[in-house]
Amino acid sequence: MKVGDAAPTFTAPDREGKSISLQDFPDRSIVLYFYPKDNTPGCTTEAIDFTAKLAEFQAVNTQVIGISPDSIASHGKFIDKHNLKIILLSDPEHQIAESYGVWQLKKFMGKEYMGIVRSTFLIDPTGVISQIWSNVRVKNHVDTVLKLIVDN
């Protein structure tokens, strides 16, 4: 994926099992972020940070959606535990992650495995990717994304 590409369409279940699609948010920008796992330190911080700034994203006509391979039950517990207000979608077969190119070979403590590379995509109201952040470091990331949207 690169800036200027049409964002791959998707449909995935939210915490209640309701199907959510990219097309459900016409005339809005979308911050679509991929994260490895519910209730891990970095992923929790990122979700809490997006929730804390959600009203500011909404004020600039932007929807925040997080996607991980976790189950809808896991997402439900994660949302409840941390009082999250963002939409989290379940991608257990990692089809959406693959379509966005974020399902990749990773290395940790000498072992190789396939997993989500923490990434964020800004999708404009016409469905075009206008910004990509890859290998995201969580600290200050949400502020960086919001600033870019507000400044444009």
CA dist., res. 43 & res. 142, Å (int): 12
Q: What residues does each domain of the chain span?
A: 28-151
Please identify which of the residues 7, 20, 22, 43 carries the catalytic annotation: 43
Residues making up the chain, counted from first to last: 152
**Model's pTM, two decimal places?**
0.95
Helix (H) or strand (E) holding 104: strand 103-108
Retrieve residue 87's tokens.
């939409």
Could you list the mean pLDDT of each consecutive 10-residue stretch along the chain, which spans 152 residues?
Answer: 94 96 94 96 95 97 97 96 97 96 90 94 96 94 95 85
pLDDT for residue 47: 97
pLDDT for residue 152: 80
pLDDT for residue 58: 96
- The class level of CATH for 28-151 reads alpha beta
- Identify whether 40 is a catalytic site residue: no
Residue 35 region by backbone torsions, left for phi larger than 0, else alpha for psi between -120 and 50, else beta: beta
pLDDT for residue 130: 96
